[in-house]
Amino acid sequence: MSVSQTTFHTALLDPTADIPEGLLDADAQPAGRRFSVYRNNVAVSLTEAMHQAFPVITKLLGPQNMDGLSGIFLRKHPPSSPLMMFYGGDFPDFLAGMEQLSHLGYLPDVARLELALRRSYHAADTQAAPADALAIPPEDIMQARLGLAPSMQMLQSDWPIYSIWRFNNEDGAPKPTAGAEDVLITRPDYDPAPQLLPTGGAHWIAGLQAGQTIGSAFEKTATEFPEFDLGATLALLLQGGAITSVTIERLAT
């Protein structure tokens, strides 16, 4: 009796499936519970990976609920690569699709924030532009395009995800209150640091990422968010080491 990996794989992920025939114990009898060692190894290791990847979600739901949820998730979305550092990319959408969790509407965006922190942690190292790279005439600043570090991540949310993250990570952080929050993650050294973005900041950074100059991104953002504070947002990028290059295109005369 030969056991294909398809049969083995199916029985591994489905605890109600029959144990494949052709697997034996020490007395050449059917392996029975011995097969569960592999089932356990898979479920336990992937559940642990989920706890590590989403510590705030685990805290919000409680470890036992996270175990149960991970058990469902890992069967629907087994890892698609051996790089466990990136496991769980489908988790935010999975959470959004769970009807039982619909009263906790902020969970998917909090999970996105945790994913973004991990992407930032493993992103390529880059050299930050010198602190005086933007010490140039104002009209030149507006013409400048910024190169941004791959460790810089940005999230826009209808929920107070920064406050929720902080409340679950810092002793004495204020309790979150309702409201939309946008988050900037920079990695000045090796530790990703999330920060609250001022109103319009995410809109403006998205413009920079699309290749717009500081000035043209600013015009578009200021139309939609008149209170947008360019200086404060630029300072967050600079202080976080997220700017890798400043390129000024002079208009032809």
Partner 1 sequence: MLDNTTRPNKLPAAPGVGYKPQHFAQILDNAHPVSWLEIHAENYMGDGGRPLAQLRHLSEQFPISVHGVGLSIGGEGPLDPDHLARLKHLVGWLNPASFSEHLAWSTHDSHFLNDLLPLPYTDTTLTRICEHIDLVQETVGREMLLENPSSYLAFEESTWSEPDFLREIARRTGCGLLLDVNNVFVSATNLDFSPRGYIDAYPLDEVGEIHLGGHDEDEDDHGHPLLIDSHGREVVDPVWALLDYVLDKAGPKPLLIEWDTDVPDWPILRAEADRAQAALDRVPA
Q: Which residues bind to partner 1, rule: CB under 8 A?
A: 1-6, 8-9, 12-13, 22-29, 31-35, 37-38, 41-42, 45-46, 49, 78-85, 121-125, 150-151, 187, 190-191
Helix (H, G, I), strand (E, B) or coil at 219: helix
In whole angstroms, how close is the CB of 95 to partner 1 at the nearest point?
21
30's CB contacts (< 8 A; 6+ apart) are 19, 21, 23, 24
Cβ closest to partner 1, residue 55 vs residue 150: 150
Cβ closest to partner 1, residue 77 vs residue 220: 77
Distance CA(152)–CA(186), nearest Å, equals 5
Distance CA(250)–CA(22), nearest Å, equals 74
Cβ closest to partner 1, residue 124 vs residue 178: 124
Distance CA(110)–CA(96), nearest Å, equals 11
What would the two tokens of residue 91 be?
A: 């988790």
In whole angstroms, how close is the CB of 16 to partner 1 at the nearest point?
18
Cβ closest to partner 1, residue 99 vs residue 191: 191
> Angle CA(217)–CA(221)–CA(226) in degrees, nearest 5?
140
Cβ closest to partner 1, residue 111 vs residue 117: 117
Residue that is written with structure tokens 């790089």 in the block: 83
Task: Yes or no: say if 166 and 173 are a contact pair by the CB < 8 Å rule.
Answer: yes
In whole angstroms, how close is the CB of 113 to partner 1 at the nearest point?
18
Cβ closest to partner 1, residue 81 vs residue 253: 81
Distance CA(96)–CA(80), nearest Å, equals 20
In whole angstroms, how close is the CB of 48 to partner 1 at the nearest point?
8
In whole angstroms, how close is the CB of 51 to partner 1 at the nearest point?
13
In whole angstroms, how close is the CB of 46 to partner 1 at the nearest point?
6
Distance CA(48)–CA(215), nearest Å, equals 46
